[in-house]
Structure 1
Amino acid sequence: MTSKAQTRREALLLLLKNGDEPLTGGILAQQLGVSRQIIVQDIALLRETGASIVGTSQGYVLESDSRKVTRSVEVKAEARNDRCEASNDSGLCERTFKVHHDPAQTRDELKTIISAGGRVVNVSISHRAYGFLSAPLAIETEEDISRFINDIESGKSAPLSTATSGYHYHLIAADDEEALETIGRALADKGYLAPLLPHEMPK
């Protein structure tokens, strides 16, 4: 018997196969009636089973279709202004950054993002045994950072990223694409930004 999740993932693949252009996680989530986080998890599972799903700056495509949409993506990118198409209900732009650091640098990493105009929506890891794990953060101010650090320390817990040797992802929201680019440069300058591997999703 086919499960509901399996049926949804098959439908996701069909949408990508029939799409004339890249489809964002938000669009896929809307068409399939689930959250965007579910879409990210589905894509990770599909990739593990061999689906060649490629993440581009404009959304997801199947690898076999990536070449034919490349020029279309480039043209659209040239035509866009400095504000991205809203990624969520709040009207903010969002992008996933892969980062790497030790636990002692967590406060500085979060402060770097906030100081550059970002909001840390969540933290995620891709674990070889446990799969893709994500937890909401909703960090927008230095007070939020202190609260998060205190919660970790008072509970004698460790950040989620310790399960993957310091590698993790943050979904970051900002007012526009320029702010996201600034955040990326700030993280890179601090040595926190890690390169995305070919199979890893963007955002």
Structure 2
Amino acid sequence: MRGEERREAILSYLKRASLPVKGGELSKLYNVSRQVIVQDIALLRAEGHDIIATPQGYVLMVNNNQFIKKIIAVKHNENQIEDELRTIVSLGGRVLDVTIEHKIYGEITGKLMLRSIYDVEMFVKKLRESNAKPLSNLTEGVHIHTIEADSEKDMERITKALKEKGFLIE
């Protein structure tokens, strides 16, 4: 399969995927190395396709206006990360990203794409096992999330719960 054909096939596969797709899965599917997939994704991005790399794999972002999106500012310590994320997804929300305002570098954003309790558990597990520090450690626990929900009512429940737990900054 030529590179152009493979990239079209990758794009088609990502369009149909309901969950993030790991690079290793794509490399096996198209019988190429993981590095070739990384290059293919870079070329697809250069063509204007909104493909993001998340901890769970690649996601093709589709402009879907049926969801309610909100940017929230929160603060908590490292031990409360799982509680915060579980609160959001258990009430029907999705955590799209995390952003901090760094003194030197300005905004730093990490894509999360957490949609379920399982996603939260895997994210927290990777965080613990890697001994990596969350971005919010650079800002004394203050950070921003873009969250998404199916309805305004779901979004209200999420923000109310975060406020009750003392996480939401207003």
Same fold (TM over 0.5): yes
The answer to whether structure 1 residue 171 and structure 2 residue 149 are counterparts is no
The answer to whether structure 1 residue 191 and structure 2 residue 166 are counterparts is yes
Q: Residue type matched to 2:91 in 1?
A: A
**Match for residue 92 of structure 2?**
117
**Match for residue 117 of structure 2?**
142
> Cα deviations across residues 46-68 of structure 1 (Å, max 9, x unaligned)?
xxxxxxxxxxxxxxxxxxxxxxx
> Cα deviations across residues 58-88 of structure 1 (Å, max 9, x unaligned)?
xxxxxxxxxxxxxxxxxxxxxxxxxxxxx94
> Cα deviations across residues 156-190 of structure 1 (Å, max 9, x unaligned)?
10111101000001100000112111111010000
Aligned residues: 112
1:91 to 43, 48, 66: 66
CA RMSD of aligned residues (A): 2.0
For structure 1, the residue ranges without an aligned partner over 5 or more in a row are: 1-32, 36-86, 196-203
TM-score calculated relative to the size of structure 1: 0.52
**Match for residue 126 of structure 1?**
101
Structure 1 outlier segments of 4+, above 3 Å = none
**Match for residue 104 of structure 1?**
79
2:87 counterpart SS class: helix
For structure 2, the residue ranges without an aligned partner over 5 or more in a row are: 1-47, 51-61
In the TM superposition, what are the counterparts of 1:14-163 in structure 2 within 5 Å? 88-89=63-64, 91-163=66-138
TM-score calculated relative to the size of structure 2: 0.62
Shift of 1:90: 6.3
Shift of 1:89: 2.1
2:120 counterpart SS class: helix
